[in-house]
Chains A and B, each alone.
Chain A
C-alpha cells in the first residue's frame, strides 16, 4: 500500500506497525521521533499503531544546527 513518507510516496507492506516500519528501515526508535498523520506518536505506542493506505509519516531526528 502507498503512504507518504518524509514527503515522498512510498510503497510499504499492508498492515505493518510503526515499530515494524522503523525496524525495517534500521531506525532506532530511541534516536527518532515519529509523526503519524500529523500526530506525534510516543515511543510506547509505536508497536500498537498500524498504518493504513494514504497515511502520512514523518520520521525526524537531531542533526547539527546553530
Chain B
C-alpha cells in the first residue's frame, strides 16, 4: 500500500489543502471533499468582535481531517513559536506548519528564523512541518533538528506559477530522510503531477482551489493530478534524451 507516512501516522491522500481565500465556507468544504485530502491547514488570527464570523472549525470534521495550524503572520521565530503554542492550547494535536514570512511582497520564508523556531518547537514535542525555500542545505539542517517533513515552495504563495524551483527540489528529494511536501505556487493539477513525478511525497495546494470558478471540481482535478503523478513515479518514467529513438521496428519496411 502506497501510503504517506508522517511522524508515524499514515494517510491515503498525498494532497494537502489549505482553507484560505475561499469565497464561502461551502466552497471551502466542497474543495476539501473533492480533493480527498486528509490534512488541512488553518491560520490563527485575533477574533473580530465587531464582525462575528461563523467558526471555521464547525465546518471541518475532525474525524476526517487532521488540522494543521500554520504560523502565518509570524515575522520571526518568537512569533512563530507563540502561534504554535496557541494552536496547541486550542486543543489541537501538536502538528504545526511552521511558516515565517516577514516579507509581504513575495512571502518568502525566512530560513534562519524558521530553523530557530523549528529547533525550539521540536524540543517542545511539536510535529513540525517547515515551509521553506527550496534550499537543500536548509532542508538538511531542519531534518537534523528533527522536523517531520520539509516543505519546499514550488513558487511564491498565490502566484500559480508551478514548480519553478525544480532543480533544487530534486536535490532535496534525493537527499531527504523525511517526506518532502511541495507547497505553494502550484496553480494547476499538472503542476501537482509534476511535483509527484519528481518523487515528492505530497503537495499542498490552496490558492488554485480557492480562486477557481468551481472549487469542488478543482479539488477533484487536483486529486487526479496528484494520483497520476504518483503512479507515474512508481511505474518508472523514461529518461529524457535529445536524439530520437524509434518506437516502431526498424526492419521490415514496406519498400517501393
Q: A residues touching B (Cβ–Cβ < 8 Å)?
A: 6-7, 25-28, 30-33, 35, 40, 42, 58-66
Contacts and interface: CB of A to CB of B under 8 A. Distances in A.
A33 B207 CA distance: 27
Contact of B57 (A7, A26, A31): A31
Nearest to B85: A40
Interface stretch (B36-44, B119-127, B192-200, B226-234): B36-44
Size category of the B interface is: 20 to 34
B18 A65 contact: yes
A26 B47 CA distance: 11
B20 A65 contact: yes
Contact of B70 (A6, A42, A59, A65): A65
A59 B47 contact: yes
21 contacts: A6-B47, A25-B49, A27-B49, A32-B47, A40-B85, A40-B89, A59-B46, A60-B45, A60-B86, A61-B44, A62-B69, A63-B44, A63-B53, A63-B56, A64-B43, A64-B56, A65-B19, A65-B42, A65-B72, A66-B43, A66-B72
A61 B89 contact: no
Contacts of B207: 66
Contacts of B255: none
Chain B binding surface, main DSSP class: mixed
Given A60-B47, A66-B20, A40 B72 contact: no
Nearest to B72: A65
Contacts of B157: 66
A58 B46 CA distance: 7
B11 interface: no
Contacts of B89: 33, 40, 42
